[in-house]
Structures are given as structure tokens and as C-alpha cells.
Amino acid sequence: MLIRLDIKDFALADRISVDFRSGFSAITGETGAGKSIMLDALGLILGDRASVDLIRTGASSADLCAEFDVSDIDAAQTWLSERELTDPDAPEFCLLRRTLGADGRSRAYVNGRPVTLQDVRALAAQLIDIHSQHAHQSLLRRDIQRLLLDEYGGHAPLAREVADAHGHWRALLDELEALARAHAESNERRALLQYQLDELDAVEPDTDEYAELVAEQKRLAHAEEHARRLASTLAGLDEEDDAITARLGRLQQELEAIDDDHPALASARELIETARVSGEEATAELRRYAAMLEPDPQRLEVIDARLGALHDLARKHRIRPEALAPLREDIAAELESLSSSEERSEVLAAEAEAARLALLDAARQLSAARKEAAKRLEATVTAQLTQLGMKHARFEVELEPVADEDCGPAGLERVEFRVSANKGIAPGPLGKIASGGELSRISLAIQVVTAATSRVPSLILDEADVGIGGRTAEVVGQLLRSLGENTQVLAVTHLPQVAALAHQHLAVEKSDQEAARIRIHTLEEDARVAELARMLGGVEVTEQTRAHASEMRRRAVGA
């Protein structure tokens, strides 16, 4: 519940601090005193759009804070915890702050940490519900009526389940349609890829093949020249009388004949022996290579043809011959992907059908819950309207069914609140049947009934009792007081009958001195009687008026 509101340099208010209690609190004051300033400030804290015009004249900024007790609001505690916004020193409280600068920039904070207005609005939905004096206009919207019915019936989670199921089904259908379009557009691409794959498969390019063919071609093309140079090299190494390996052998023998263990001599012997062994190994490798240098014109012709085919295909695809094998793999993979889209389409079609059936199952459960809740809401609101002086009023909730194939995120029916204000008149849409005063009372009845089952712990009504008077006004006060037993209710009212029944009475006054200033006072009993007398008597407050006000308070306390 809301426990404190601090306002600084907002509108006509320089500095206001108000403490709130549980139960029903009435907010009163003369016309133009600024009763709605407090609610406007609270609305700004809770995420309303800001304007520099709201900063008090002469001030550079406005600073607004609202403190809530969230100890009994599990949803708010979860929301704060998930975003790491809980105050570790006081987890049972939540402080919302909004600042507005002269440059037009506003900032929002939760427990001292900056947040977005979207975050503030999401949190505010768990904390408080504000009904302005034009709230009945929103009640004319069928989507609002549907939400109220679902909240009242306690099946809002089921309604969200239906909306989620519809979203999942539509997402599957969208993906299926996208695949169908892609499949139609890919027919030409598929034909081209298949032609290219067939062409590549005919050549059968292999990884590393091109480099090996080029090396073999070069070796065969220069076989005679290489053989001549190789023969000369082998002769110098091992075949001539003065060959290098033979000379190294003789040099090694000469050094072995020297009888000396000097390290330099030993190193020289080792190096010459290594050189001789290397020469012998080189000779063996060259002879193996020489065996491969047999001229092979037929093999060279085959290699030239193969390289020609690879070059021609590479030019066609504008790549190097070495890239033909990877290209073939890419084309084959794309073709497989296009083919698998047909399989994916079949899977998606099955998933979409299952999702449609799940949607219809949830929607039918929601329809049954709505029918049951609609009956209870009709009876309760009609009873409230009777108490509000509309003896012949009849309130109905029409559930207009839609076909299964038209099931939307709202389910299988359209919800509409209908009312008959007078005997013998068939119920019709709220905006067409009810007059202004009747609509105010109908709106109040709906708000009171639905608020009693709302998850939101605080309800604010801004002159929801407009157009109501006499005995009906006292009934309104009794309704709000009864509602306040379970929900914190703040109501701006001009009716003394309503204010008299409040658990707490806040009076707003404007001081017309050098500059207008707003003050809000929590009234104790004597001051409450005086305020009620003012509300009853207008300009002149008589002893009889004060006595009437005292009597109203006595009856209220007794109630």
C-alpha cells in the first residue's frame, strides 16, 4: 500500500509531505484548491508523461517521491528481486522517485537506482490502480471490459495462457508461410544448383589434386633435361674415380691414421664422416628420383587434359582451380538445405496443428471460466446499482462467440458490458444506453466490484462520485468504506456523505498570498467536523450545519 508521498516544486505546491493509512481515505477541498495535484504527482511518479509546465514557477526542477509497503505484495517483491532493485536494508518497502528538470528531461528511480519509465509502469501495475474522473470512458472500450471480467473471475492467468498460445500458433504459421514462399522462390535456384553439381560431379575435382597434377606435369615435361642434370650430379657424387664420396672416404682414412685424441681432430673426423654419409644418402635419393624420370608422353597427355578440364570449369565459376572441390561441397550443402526445407515444412505443419488444438483447448477453458464469472459479475454489479438508486437497472455481460477458425489472442468470444437503466428497456452498450449521471454510477459500481477482487492493493478514485447526491451519496461512502476494509482506497470527493465515512480525511487548501501555495492536512475529529460543515454549508456555515456534520460523523463512527 501507499504509505507516504513527498512533493517538491510541483505545480502550485512548493513542498508537501503526506502520510497515508490503510482503509478508505477521503480527499476534500474547495473547488480549485488543488485536490488533483496530489494525484497528478502520483501519476507522474508512476510513469505518466512529464512536461516542464508542471515545475512550480520560479523553481529549477520538481522532485516527487512515493513510498510503498510491499511486504504483502508478492508480485512486486518478485519483480524487484528479479531486477536486483530490492532495498537490502528495508526489503519490505519500495521507494519510487521522479525528477523533472527545466530542460525537459525527467528521470525515474526505484530504491535509488535509475530505471526506465517502462520499468516504472510495470512495477506500478503491481502496486496501485488510479481511476481518474474520466475513468468511465475507458469502461466503454471492450478490451478494458474483457480485462475487468478476467481479473474479476480470477482467470487472468488463463487469459494470458490463451494469448501466449495464440502468439505461438501464429509464429509457427508465419514461419510455415515464409518457408512456402522460400520454396516457391527456390525452384529456379534448385535447378541451377543441381546443374552445377552435376557438372562438378562429372569432373570430380578432388582436394589437393590440382597442385599434385601441376607438379607431375612439370616433372614429366622436363624429364629429359632433369635426367641429364641428374646423371651429371650422380657422377660427381659417386660414379667417377674422383667422386666426392670416394674422396671423403679417403680423407677420413688419413685422419684416422693420426694418433691423437685432440678435441679439434676428433670434431673434424666426425664432420667429414657426416659429410660422407650425407653424400651417400643423397646419392641413394637421387637414384630413386631418377627411376621416376622415365619419359611418359601418354601420362603427360592425360595430365594436360585433366588440367584443362579443371581450368575450364574454374573459369566458368570465376574461381581458382584449387577452389573447385570446396565449391562442390557448398553447392551440395545448399541443395540439401533446400531439400530439407520440405521436411521442415512438414514438421512445422504438424507443430502448427498441435499448437492450434492447444490454443482451442485453452480458449474453451477460458470461455467456460468467463461464462461463470460473467454470471457472478452481472448479479453483483446489478445489486450495487440497486443500492446506488438505480432500482430498475440491469447489468449484463454479453459473450459473443466467434468461430474456432477466428480464435484470437482474446479467445473465442468478444466481451461487452451492457446495461438497462430503466424498466422495460432492453440492455444495450454502456455508452449508448446510460446518461452521464447514470454512467458515473455504473462506472463506480463496476470499479468497486472489480476492485474488491483485484490483485492491486491500492485504489485511487478521482471524483468517481460525480453526478451522485442524496441518499445515494451515503451508499457510495458505505461502499468505499467497505472496500477499504480489504483494499487501500484514496478518493477525491466533493460529497460530505462520502467523506464522513472515510477512515482518514485529508483536506487540501490553497493559500492566496504573494504566490499561491497548496497545503494538505490530515484532519483529526474536530477538524473533520468543520470540513464536513463547510462542504454542507457552502459560504455560510451555521450551528445547524455543524450539528448536521457532527451527526454524520457519529453515524459513520457507529457504522
pLDDT digits 0-9 by tens, 136-155: 466 778 888 898 899 899 99
Determine contact, residues 422/430, Cβ cutoff 8 Å: no
Residue 387 inside a domain? The answer is no
pLDDT at 521: 85
Write down the mean pLDDT value for the chain. 85
Q: Note the pLDDT tens digit of each residue in 384-412.
A: 888 888 888 899 999 999 999 999 999 99
Q: Report whether 328 contacts 201 (CB < 8 A).
A: yes
**Residue range 64-93: average pLDDT?**
92
Domain that holds residue 93: 1-132+463-525
User: Structure pTM?
Assistant: 0.60
One domain, residues 209 and 118:
no
Q: Are residues 127 and 195 in the same domain?
A: no
The number of domains in the chain is 2
83: CATH: 3.40.50.300
* Integer Cα distance of 476 and 387 in angstroms: 9
Considering only the C-alpha atoms of the chain, give the largest distance between any 2 of them, rounded to a whole number of Å: 150
Residue 41 covered by a domain: yes
Domain boundary (276, 311, 337) is at 337
pLDDT digits (tens, 9 = 90+) for 405-434: 999 999 999 999 999 888 888 888 887 776
Same domain membership, residue 330 and residue 205: yes
* Domain C-terminal end among 307, 337, 367: 337
207 found inside a domain: yes
**46 and 124 co-located in one domain:** yes
85, part of any domain: yes
Contact 491, 23 (CB under 8 A): no
For residue range 282-299, what is the model confidence (pLDDT) as tens digits? 888 888 777 776 666 787
Tell me how many degrees the CA angle 37-72-500 measures, rounded to the nearest 5: 45
Nearest to 42 by CA among 67, 21, 77, 72: 67
From 334, 315, 333, select the one nearest 324 (Cα to Cα).
315
Q: Are residues 107 and 222 in the same domain?
A: no
Same domain, 14 and 92: yes
SS3 of 82, please? helix
Residue bearing the bigger pLDDT, 101 or 448: 101
Question: Where are the alpha helices (H) located in 398-435, listed in sequence order?
Answer: 430-433
Q: Which of 287, 317, 337 is the last residue of a domain?
A: 337
Same domain, 205 and 324: yes
**How does residue 365 score in pLDDT terms, banded at 50, 70 and 90?**
very high
Residues 117 and 227 in one domain: no
The answer to the question of residue 146 being in a domain is no
From the CB of residue 63, how many other CB atoms can be counted at a distance below 10 Å?
Answer: 16
Same domain, 197 and 273: yes
202 lies in the same domain as 326: yes
- Gap between the Cα atoms of 375 and 373, Å rounded: 5
Looking at residue 132, its pLDDT comes to 62
Please name which of 137, 211, 133 lies closest in space to residue 462, comparing C-alpha atoms: 133
In a domain, 458, yes or no: no
Q: Is residue 239 part of a domain?
A: yes
- Return the pLDDT at 143: 87
The predicted pLDDT at position 343 comes to: 74
Q: What is the pLDDT, as a whole number, of residue 114?
A: 94
Please determine, for residue 87, whether its predicted confidence score (pLDDT) is greater than 80. yes
For residues 93 and 219, membership in a common domain is answered with: no
Q: What percent of the chain has pLDDT over 90?
A: 31
